[in-house]
Structure 1
Amino acid sequence: MDTLLQARIFDTAEAPAADRLALWLEVVAQTPAPMRVRTAHADNFLARAEFLDLGPMRLVRYRYPSLDGIRTRKLIRRSDADYYVLALTLNGTGITDQDGQRGVCPPGDFTFFDCARPQEASHHADDGQAAASLVALIPYDALPLPHRRLRPLFSSRIPGGEGVGALLAGYLSRIIGHPEQYHAVDAERLGTVGLDLVTTLLGRHLVSEEAIPTEVRRRALLAQVQAYVRQHLGDATLAPGTIAGARHISVRSLHRLFEDEETTVAAYIRDERLARCRRDLADPALSDRSIQVIAARWGFRDKAHFSRVFRAAQGETPQEYRARHLEPARIVNSTASAVNLSRTY
């Protein structure tokens, strides 16, 4: 059986209040970006970190009290510093200073910095709330952009609310939020897609996108197209023309993009719609919804057409699929009801 992807979690709440800050600093010291920390919450530093390895890229979701930090040359020499950090502010306001540049990042925006250079940072949230961030730790050699070209981006504020920034923010948040939805063997591929989006995001803020390798641009464009398709599956008129127009590319280029994936645009749309239909048909909470309503929700307006497509893909009708998946749930519920009834008497 495949192993599911799983984050490693560290939570200072499991330790006595007096030990929490020291334990937190020990954990942070093992990352490529340890800092000297000042905080008004040293006597009870309630913090949590979730670590998830995705091939060469590591994701960390942090939650901690407001703090200020400084990364000195001495700390740099003690750590494996050949890393970049792309940090997404989730709550509070993050401020970073590096190489004479300052970035002020409200929730939803990114900042980018080099672990091998001195840095000052602060992250403060409103009273009574924790600061939170999502960090991607990226080795130098995993990012196919010239190091010297990236320097103007250090400590800059990079919008995460639109375009590639929004796509990347949603992608990373979805993975770290629900790693159990993925298999461990998928980690490398998930990391590769993430790196492609990071590369594209940074490349958009350089003088020229020509610094981005062609294959990286292709994979990043594919990820954007696939995200658009998933967001519009319920639109029965979804077609190559509308998708290409939304991404400002030609229909021919769109088809060529999917040829490299050994599928077609139409097949991808169909398979994604069928996946959503299978999920809803097997959901006991949706057992009162008709098959036609579920099919229409995901873009299948014609009942007969949906039945034919579903049977061709699954080898059984939608009714048979639903019955096979809901019957075990009915048995469990009936057994539970019988037990509860016997306890009543």
Structure 2
Amino acid sequence: MIETVFRTEDLPVADRADAWRERLSRAHMPVDVMCRPDSDFTVHQRVMRLGGTLVWPSASASHVIRRTPELIRSSDPEMINLSLITKGTVGFRMHGPDALYGPFDFRTNDSSHPWETVLGTRGEAVDAVTVDVPRARLPLSSDEIDRVIGHRLSGREGVGALLAAFLTTLADNARSFTAADEPRLETVLLDLLAALFANALDGMDSLPAESRRRTLALRIQAFIRDHLHDPDLTPAGIAAAHHISTSYLHRLFQDRETTVSGWIRHLRLERAREQLADPARSHVPVHLVAARAGFEHHPVFTRAFRAAYGMSPREYRRRALLQGDQRRYNH
């Protein structure tokens, strides 16, 4: 995936705030930027384009960004902006009184209304992952979007936690994705954004059926990963936890070209394989590694591992640790 990078450290201190204002105004929406004139102002921004959507992780010193009525009249790209705060505090004013945001809060605004954001209310640095998406790309009515914009949304639970995990994973692993991944990633991002807004409206029925289906599939996949250690994790139990039928659960997995049980087994084997190759866990008995990955019976684990990787778990651990030792020796 191609990233563009902006760093104020490459500029004279006196030019940094103006360069950041120009960057935001040109790439996102026209804004004003204010910072202390005596400050060594710094911003580091990476921008990833997923079709018509931008995702941009940033780390910045304390400053203020404003979108004024005059700027709106000059240009309105009809853009929605959502920021996941990961470090620091952010003050925000849009429709009502000032609000304070902290880590794993989502702050939302759009280009059609005035707002003011104070990044670093205590003078501290702020890290965030921000999304710019055209309003027309969300499968919600303009009225529904307006009812959510400007309100705090949580990234700690439910769909918000899924979206937060998706954004942080994307920001941390951008180089592992290719241009071919971008349409799929944009679809997932738009589905999660729409689901987050719909949840805030308490109206998932306002989403198109396909978006609801994909969002439910993502929630179920996250549930399975969180419960891999449970040997009683079964399709029937997963379906009951999500208030759907077992047959509908199996239909959700048709796109993966595997069964629900097959995907669970694959994830458990991958978790066990990672732990067997970890030098820090070399003292953990193989049967305990298997149990922690969710395999109740050690012989079943051994057979499945050999079928998947062509060797026993003990042999895989021996080879992986030996290769790790050789790499460290060569360096």
> Fold-level match, TM-score > 0.5?
yes
Q: Aligned pair 1:306/2:301, yes or no?
A: yes
Distance 1:310 1:227, change over 3 A: same
Shift of the alpha carbon at 1:86? 1.5
Shift of the alpha carbon at 1:238? 1.6
Shift of the alpha carbon at 1:307? 1.4
Q: Aligned pair 1:96/2:116, yes or no?
A: no
Q: Which residue of 1 aligns with 2:23?
A: 27
Shift of the alpha carbon at 1:201? 0.9
DSSP-derived class of the 2:187 partner: helix
Aligned counterparts of 2:202 and 2:278: Cα–Cα separation in 1: 49
**Match for residue 55 of structure 1 among 51, 74, 82:** 51
C-alpha contact (below 8 Å) 2:80/2:133 kept by paired residues: yes
After superposition, what is the alpha-carbon deviation per residue over 1:172-229, rounded to whole angstroms, capped at 9, x for unaligned?
1222123245444323222211211111111122363332000100000110110111
Q: Which residue of 2 aligns with 1:186?
A: 181
Distance 1:233 1:250, change over 3 A: same
Aligned counterparts of 1:300 and 1:112: Cα–Cα separation in 2: 43
Distance 1:287 1:181, change over 3 A: farther
**Match for residue 211 of structure 2 among 210, 216, 220:** 216
Distance 1:199 1:26, change over 3 A: same
DSSP-derived class of the 1:300 partner: coil
DSSP-derived class of the 2:54 partner: strand
Q: Which residue of 2 aligns with 1:136?
A: 131
**167-176 or 80-89, which moves further after superposition?**
80-89
Q: Aligned pair 1:239/2:230, yes or no?
A: no
Relative to the length of structure 2, the TM-score reads 0.88
Q: Which residue of 2 aligns with 1:198?
A: 193
Q: Aligned pair 1:40/2:52, yes or no?
A: no
Aligned counterparts of 2:271 and 2:327: Cα–Cα separation in 1: 24
DSSP-derived class of the 2:239 partner: helix
Over the matched positions of the two proteins, sequence identity in percent amounts to 35
Shift of the alpha carbon at 1:80? 6.8
What pairs with 1:57-76 in structure 2 (closer than 5 Å)?
57-76=53-72
Relative to the length of structure 1, the TM-score reads 0.84
DSSP-derived class of the 2:201 partner: coil
Q: Aligned pair 1:162/2:157, yes or no?
A: yes
Query: Residue type matched to 2:303 in 1?
Result: R
C-alpha contact (below 8 Å) 1:292/1:303 kept by paired residues: yes
Distance 1:313 1:261, change over 3 A: same
Query: Residue type matched to 2:310 in 1?
Result: G
Shift of the alpha carbon at 1:295? 1.9
Shift of the alpha carbon at 1:278? 2.3
Distance 1:207 1:39, change over 3 A: same
> Which segments of 5 or more consecutive residues in structure 1 lack a partner in the other structure?
337-345
DSSP-derived class of the 2:253 partner: helix
Aligned counterparts of 1:50 and 1:189: Cα–Cα separation in 2: 20
**Match for residue 255 of structure 1 among 239, 242, 250:** 250
DSSP-derived class of the 2:316 partner: helix
Shift of the alpha carbon at 1:45? 0.7
Q: Which residue of 1 aligns with 2:113?
A: 117
Aligned counterparts of 2:89 and 2:81: Cα–Cα separation in 1: 18
Distance 1:154 1:333, change over 3 A: closer
Shift of the alpha carbon at 1:264? 1.8
Aligned counterparts of 1:242 and 1:13: Cα–Cα separation in 2: 53
Shift of the alpha carbon at 1:17? 2.5
DSSP-derived class of the 2:48 partner: strand
Aligned counterparts of 1:102 and 1:7: Cα–Cα separation in 2: 36
Distance 1:72 1:217, change over 3 A: same
Q: Aligned pair 1:282/2:244, yes or no?
A: no
**67-76 or 80-89, which moves further after superposition?**
67-76
C-alpha contact (below 8 Å) 1:59/1:137 kept by paired residues: yes
